[in-house]
Chains A and B, each alone.
Chain A
Amino acid sequence: MTSYHRSKDRAISISHHSSPLTHHSEMSPFLFWIFAVLTVIFGAAVVLNRNPVASALSLVVSFLGLSALFMSLDAFFVGIIQVLVYAGAVMVLFLFIIMLLDIRAEERRRINWLAAGGGIGVAVILLVQICVVIGHFKVARQPFPSLARSTTDDVWNIGRLLFTNYNLPFQIIGVLVLVATIGVVILSRREPR
């Protein structure tokens, strides 16, 4: 109950220095398409590159574009986490493993065109199916509703949810990360001969 009141207090205090009208924080369509195309092109580059280092760097650019898309949806916390975790941690892990194993660009093998065509066919069928579903989904044609104010203190709101409603899953995630850490150490330990 008290936290609810606090959130209302914060809401009032914040609405002072923002416009009293409802807020359209949407990114301009131009920027949206730039970042969407950037994300998709570099995502495709991850799959198409033969050199794993180039793939890892394309993955980072793709995730930076994705983080911009998150921020265009007023999800600043998720966008920042995306940059920190993926550009900061996961990419370094990938590059470190590529360096450690000294993986070169793969040599060209004879492509099994039947298998490759089957894979591309299944992927295209999946894409067409999702697009048909979205096309029949009438809500998807509406623009986003406007927010009450321009600054959504989403770190505060997500943190409150994490420590109240999602407290147990949060602790379970902690155990999962611990187990993953121990597992990685055990898996990558060199066996005594």
Chain B
Amino acid sequence: MITLGDYLVVSAILFTIGFAGVMLRRNLIIILMSLELMLNAANLSLVAFSRFRVGPGGLPDYNAQVLVFFVITVAAAEVAVGLALLVALYRARQTTDVHDITSLKF
């Protein structure tokens, strides 16, 4: 029997992979992809809780799924802006490596 905890553990592993990607990788495109992984891990736990909290009508709690809808929309907008920033950065510096961007480095 699959329990709520199984979905939460999968979500936690996925979030950790995304987090490790942001911490370890230097390519900005991969960092953006890892951000998407983290957002989707959060979505998975939201949907799992939505299915777990069955209301009196025998339906899942759709408030969480509306929140997932908003998260997906914001994530798509974020990717578009992030990639546009990446293109602008590449035009200015010819690099997508975060180690080459040191203007703000202390």
Contacts and interface: CB of A to CB of B under 8 A. Distances in A.
Interface of A: 7, 11, 22, 26-27, 29, 32, 36, 39-40, 43-44, 46-47, 52, 55-56, 59, 62-63, 66, 69-70, 73-75, 77-78, 81-82, 85-86, 89-90, 93-94, 97-98, 100-101, 103, 106, 116, 119-120, 122-124, 126-127, 130-131, 134-135, 137, 139-149, 152, 154, 157-158, 161-162, 165-166, 169, 173, 176-177, 180-181, 183-184, 187-188, 190
In the complex, the 3 A-B pairs of residues with the closest C-beta atoms, listed nearest first: A148-B58, A140-B5, A119-B23
18 contacts: A26-B2, A36-B10, A47-B25, A55-B30, A66-B40, A66-B43, A81-B72, A122-B23, A127-B16, A143-B1, A143-B2, A147-B58, A158-B65, A158-B69, A166-B66, A177-B76, A183-B84, A184-B81
B3 A140 contact: yes
Interface of B: 1-10, 12-21, 23-27, 29-30, 32-34, 36-37, 40, 43-44, 47-48, 50-52, 54, 57-60, 62-63, 65-66, 68-70, 72-81, 83-88, 90-91, 96-97
A43 B65 contact: no
Given A55-B30, A89-B76, A126-B19, A47 B91 contact: no
Nearest to B56: A148
A39 B44 CA distance: 11
